[in-house]
Amino acid sequence: MNRDNFIKTNYNEPFIIQRADPYVYKHKDGTYLFTGSVPEYDRIVLRQSSTLDGLKDADEVTIWKKHEQGIMSMHIWAPEIHYIEGKWFIYYAAGDKDDIWAIRPYVLECSGKDPLKDPWKELGQMQASDDFSFRDFSLDMTVFENRGIWYCVWAEKVSVGKKISNLYIAEMESPVRLSTPQVLLSSPDYDWERVDFWVNEGPALLRHAGMLYLTYSASATGACYCMGMLSIPDDEELLNPRVWKKERIPVLRTDWKKGILGPGHNSFTKSEDGAADIMIYHARQYDEITGDPLYDPNRHVYRMKIMWDEEGCPVFSFENNF
């Protein structure tokens, strides 16, 4: 299947077109904010709506553009917006025109009330507390609070031998600085995490009934892209990797009949009444791509209602797309 000849189904009608790595944040006042990677990888955009549905057609505002040269001048990827201690922060990855794969995590801050209209300032690269974090290809940073402590999780490639993208976790001293050395959470251990590239990336946190579920994406960005999951009780030591449980099979992967290919790089939000957990993710409608799938613009945004099984674990099913 290619871009001119793919199966249209009841499941693969996009929520938002041509936005990869989608992130939706529901603010305390009930409004929704949306951001994601644009196909040009050259800017950071935001949408805002009083309803989740409204994000589809909401006006999109460019709040930051890439530099012309040097750091933050190439591959502007996977922005996430967070509200921490009365300020807005956007975490994103970026490269350098002179070294396009020198991807590192960066931070923007907005101290105003309206993140679409008020100014943003650059805070530079995320600061490590050790001598080895962010030394190589590092991206897909997410942050969350648990029991009064803020944590940061990101993907980073090890630079010895074969390039492998792992997931790491650390505690945070501030929105721009880590307070502990990195701890390895997950490596691409299984065959489904090693298609074309050995990858764990795109972490996203889901909370439910005293548990933390950390989904992530695996393998290359084409139809082989899929989702894995880690989990841990929320009262355990999050920096102890032995306590985390890793699922042996993907929790979501390509469904050829439904026409949803390479699902992944998701985020989680709540329904308007707060009763349901909603997953926002990207996927493709076809697999025949000329060149690197990374530069094909047609990764679209989809929505899925999360269901829960008898043991309280999340159930990811395209049947619950809406």
Residues with catalytic function: 21, 201
Backbone angles phi, psi at 56, to 5 degrees: -60, -45
Amino acid at 22: P
Q: Any alpha helices (H) in 170-282, and if so which ranges?
A: none
The pair of structure tokens assigned to 292 is: 């690197």
CA dihedral 64, 298, 9, 307 (to 10 degrees): -50
Contacts of 208 (CB under 8 A, 6+ apart): 277, 308, 312, 314
CA angle 44, 50, 52 (to 5 degrees): 75
Report the C-alpha gap between 281 and 227 in whole angstroms.
10
Report the C-alpha gap between 266 and 1 in whole angstroms.
24
Report the C-alpha gap between 80 and 28 in whole angstroms.
17
Cβ atoms within 10 A of the Cβ of 176, count? 16
Contacts of 304 (CB under 8 A, 6+ apart): 278, 279, 281, 316, 317, 318, 320, 321, 322
Write the DSSP string, 71-132.
EEEEEEEEEEEEEETTEEEEEEEEEETTEEEEEEEEEEEE-SS-TTTS--EEEEEPBPSSSS
Would you give the DSSP letter of residue 273?
T
